[in-house]
Amino acid sequence: MEAHLSIQKLTKRYKTGDGVTGISLDVKKGEMITLLGPSGCGKTTVLRSVGGFLDPDSGDIMIEGKSVLSTPPEKRPTSMVFQGYNLWPHMTVYENLAFGLKIRKIRKAERDKAISEVLELVRLPGSEKKYPGQLSGGQQQRIAVARSLLLKPAVLLLDEPFSALDAKLRHEMREELREIQAELGLTMVFVTHDQEEALSISDRIVVMNHGQIEQIATPQEIYDEPKSLYVAQFIGKMNFMKGVITEDGIQVGSLHFPNATGLSGEVTVAVRPEDIVLESSAGSGLHGIIKQIMVLGHYAEVSADIRNYGVIRAFMARDKVKELQQGQEISVQFSKILAYPQG
């Protein structure tokens, strides 16, 4: 199946040395792809290049099988939702939404119908006569999304659109956007530095680091099988400790695990908090002392100081920590580990 959006060996470097090199990515029709990484990793450079706001140094960008490199932003089959809402404060919601349709010479009756429908879609029916200043941040961002949807883009681009909203509203907006995307079958490229946002919203995640792609995979694969130490450090909570390769496999203190990837020498072992099993001090695992127990809603986070390995964190069901207490001696086992060459 031909890619709906194809980014081919895209390179764009700034004088500061930041930018991206040799980025290649194919996005299927109706797919939601998230570019994830810290500030300066190149995710927004990729997005703005697709939207036509940056000219790449080399490479190509194809949308629906055609190169768009020489097409200006306003003529590309893309639309962009920015971090700031970019609504004109002196115009009503209707005027803000109608602006792009007028430029495309859409008749008034059609404009009215399209605006009424899109306001229903973003759950703000009847708000045509309001001004942006009369709307909350979340409502303004809904209008910004609605304005982009009205242009019926082949690819919708979103640059950290919810980062200015509070946590609860951000969560709601993510769910709504996913519903709209599924309902309309939209192809979306979403940029964020928030790993929880990426894990919850994406069909696939592109983890970026210093202008390069580290891994492209589904949220489940990225979480369960991070391909590199960088991805393991960036996605979700993780415990890291030194391990040694022996004839039996990977050894962490008295614990042994298979060396499935054929590593040699010293390795960094990574363990998710939910894969840590706490036992009584008589167990055969690593020995340590409980430092802290924090109940976080339906689960608890237990910090334990492990002899020779420092502090590790375990996630446990809330009812399981009732018999644990600070200062208690315990033994630790790992139900699953990941291992990487020591960087």
Write out pLDDT tens, residues 207-265: 999 999 999 999 999 999 999 999 999 998 999 999 999 888 999 998 999 998 889 88
d(CA 42, CA 7): 14
Task: Identify the pLDDT of residue 104.
Answer: 81
When the pLDDT of each residue in the chain is averaged and rounded to a whole number, the result is: 91
Residue 1 in this model has a pLDDT that exceeds 60? no
Of 291, 340, 297, residue with least CA distance to 314: 291
Q: What is the DSSP string of 108-165?
A: HHHHHHHHHHHHHHTT-TT-TT--GGGS-HHHHHHHHHHHHHHT--SEEEEESTTTTS
pLDDT at 49 over 60: yes
Q: Name 88's bridge partners.
A: none
Q: How large is the greatest C-alpha to C-alpha distance in the chain, in angstroms? A: 79
Question: Tokens representing 251?
Answer: 């050894």
Distance from C-alpha of 11 to C-alpha of 56, rounded to nearest angstrom:
6
For 148-177, how does the pLDDT look when each residue is reduced to its tens digit (9 = 90+)?
988 889 999 999 988 877 888 888 888 888
Residue 8: strand pairing partners: 60
Please write the tens of the pLDDT for every residue from 78-101.
999 887 778 899 999 999 999 888
Q: In one letter, which amino acid is 293? A: I
Residue with structure tokens 């690819």? 155
Strand order in the sheet with 19-27: 19-27, 5-13, 58-63, 66-67
Domains (range + CATH), the chain: 5-231 (3.40.50.300), 238-341 (2.40.50.100)
